[in-house]
Amino acid sequence: MGDSEEEGPTAFILINAEINKEKEVLNYLKSLKGVDEVDLVYGIYDIIAKVVADDIDELNLIVNGKVSKNNHIRSTMTMIAIGNHPDA
């Protein structure tokens, strides 16, 4: 997962895309600043994306202002990672 000491807040987003629009959504996500990794997956969700931001406000902007605004995304589930937090 990289060097978590140097990364800002990280979120993993599970995405349901419209049928036959998965690759279009994948390419859209790849073009966004802050989207570190994105893959098509099998199962309940179609795509998983890892988003890394400088701070929680930027993370919110990417997730709610950019990712969720794509017309071919039907639904998302976002999980904010706590990494190697000493209390985890």
Chain-centroid distance, C-alpha 21: 17
Residue 55 has pLDDT above 70, yes or no: yes
Domains of the chain: 10-80 (3.30.70.920)
Mean pLDDT for 16-36 is 96
Largest CA distance in the chain: 42
Residue 80 has pLDDT above 70, yes or no: yes
Report CA torsion sign: 33, 16, 48, 12: positive
The reported pLDDT for the residue numbered 77 is 96
